[in-house]
Structure 1
Amino acid sequence: MKVKLLSYTPEPEKLVATAAKLCYSSSDIESLRDGLTEDKISGFIDMLASIGHESVMEHVCFTFGVEGISRACSHQLVRHRIASYSQKSQRYVNENGFEFITPPAIEEVPEAKEEYDRVISEITESYEKLVKLLTDKHIEEFTAQGLDEKSARSKASKLANEDARFILPNACETKIVVTMNVRSLFNFFRHRCCNRAQWEIRAVANEMLRLCLEVAPHIFSHAGPSCVAEGKCPEGKMSCGKMKEVKEYFSAMKAK
């Protein structure tokens, strides 16, 4: 798994503080912005967090490149709707010899790993066979319609991928570019940094938070799973029961 911060709104903390101060001031925007020191910015962000004024966080966006995750993980990621996503297509990109993700629990059991690899190998072989059969079928159809061989093959391969992908597993590796505003990131971290989240997307979320902290430490000092961000666990009987350990983990992350 690889997570990289590709881009972010310049001077994110200063922008948030400027937008927030504007709500309570008759001064012009440039004057508000120029009057902000680092201490004033951090103090204002702390105040915003204490009163739950998160709308001003929407002015700041972060864009991440995520690679080496499974389709099972990306399906969870795109459920976070206030965001923008661009993902490697299984329709336009051929998946012959596709990379796949193996869950750690399966890696730890030799017999399970052997069975897992066997099934993946069978799917890979079947996928490649389907692509060839469907490509040949469509080439024949397109050449009969008068297309030259090169054009027919190009068009046929896309149609073949489109249908052959139906047998690809959730384990299939994918790549995705994600853009979220800070308010959406807060929500994402509350849900996905939690121990109750699936292991893979939790690892992605934790790394995204670590990268955000490098750029905007004051803003994201208030981010994390619910037990960290809100001081309480909303999971009830389904709680992991490790609030102390979780808080220590994120405190250490934010101290770096």
Structure 2
Amino acid sequence: MQVELLYHTPDPERAIATAARLCYAPVGAAELMETMPEERMRSVLSTILASGHLSTLEHASYTFAVDGVSRALTHQLVRHRIASFNQQSQRYVKFSDGLECVKPPTVAADAQAEAVFDRAIEAAVAAYRQLLDAGIPAEDARYLLPNAAESKIVITMNVRELLHFFSLRCCNRAQWEIRDMAHRMLELARPTAPFIFADAGAPCVRGACPEGKMSCGNPYPQVRRG
């Protein structure tokens, strides 16, 4: 898996604080953006995060490029509806020269399970190629491709949705592959807005686990704002 931060709103914390402060300021956003002291900016951010008035977080966004993830992951990912996605198409991209697949660690750790997995993938890919050779359009032959098939996707989320995404997908109860991706995305986002993302991640980073009886029982270490 490769995760790259392609782009983000310049100075996202200042942009968010400016949007929040504008509601109560006699001057315009451009002036606030230029003149707001760093200490005041952090005070505004602290207030909106603590109060739950998070609409201003939607004024900053992040775009990630993710390669080498499975279709099983991307089917989960697109459930996050307040986001934009563009994914490598199995309709237009033919995999006649080979198909890379993601193998779950539990499968790779068991020789017998791995052999079963590999045979199934090989059979599916062989059948896919046979359909292509027979003149079947790729958009129809792709019905044979497995969830393990590697894919590429570009993801854009605003900060409000990104925090929600991290809360759900950094949790130990999230599926292993999307959890790995979420942690990598957070590692890239945090340095660009260290105050906003200081305690981003699973809910147990900030307090009690909300999962109740479904809790993993192994909370992440507490993180405090700097």
Q: Count matched residues.
A: 225
The answer to whether structure 1 residue 205 and structure 2 residue 177 are counterparts is no
What percentage of aligned pairs have identical amino acids?
Answer: 48
2:141 alignment counterpart: 164
CA distance in 1, matches of 2:26, 2:43: 20
Conserved in 2, the CA contact under 8 Å of 1:49 and 1:222?
no
Moved more, 195-204 or 126-135: 126-135
Between Structure 1 and Structure 2, whose CA radius of gyration is higher? 1
Q: In structure 1, what is the Cα distance between the partners aligned to 2:53 and 2:5?
A: 25
**Structure 1 ranges of 4+ moved more than 3 A:** none
What corresponds to 2:112 in structure 1? 111
CA shift digits 1:140-191 (9 cap, x unpaired)? xxxxxxxxxxxxxxxxxxxx10110001100000000000000010111111
Q: What displacement does 1:247 show?
A: 2.5
Q: SS at the partner of 1:69?
A: strand
CA distance in 2, matches of 1:28, 1:180: 26
SS state of the match for residue 151, structure 2? strand
- Corresponding residue of 2:134: 133
With the length of structure 1 as denominator, give the TM-score of the two structures.
Answer: 0.84
2-structure distance, mates of 1:161, 1:56:
44
Shift of 1:224: 1.1
Of 202, 212, 221, the residue aligned with 1:236 is 212
Q: How does 1:141-180 map to 2 (within 5 A)?
A: 160-180=137-157
More helix, by proportion: 1
| Structure 2 length-normalised TM | 0.95
How is 1:73-112 mapped onto 2 (pairs within 5 angstroms)? 73-96=73-96, 97-112=98-113
Q: Is the 8 A contact 2:85 2:156 kept in 1?
A: yes
How far is the alpha carbon of 1:220 from its aligned partner?
0.8
- Gaps of at least 5 residues in structure 2 are none
1:69 paired to 2:69? yes
Partner Cα distance (1:105, 1:193) in 2: 19
CA distance in 2, matches of 1:57, 1:20: 9
Contact map agreement 2:125 2:144 (CA 8 A) in 1: no
Question: 1:115 Cα shift?
Answer: 1.3
Q: CA RMSD in A?
A: 1.6
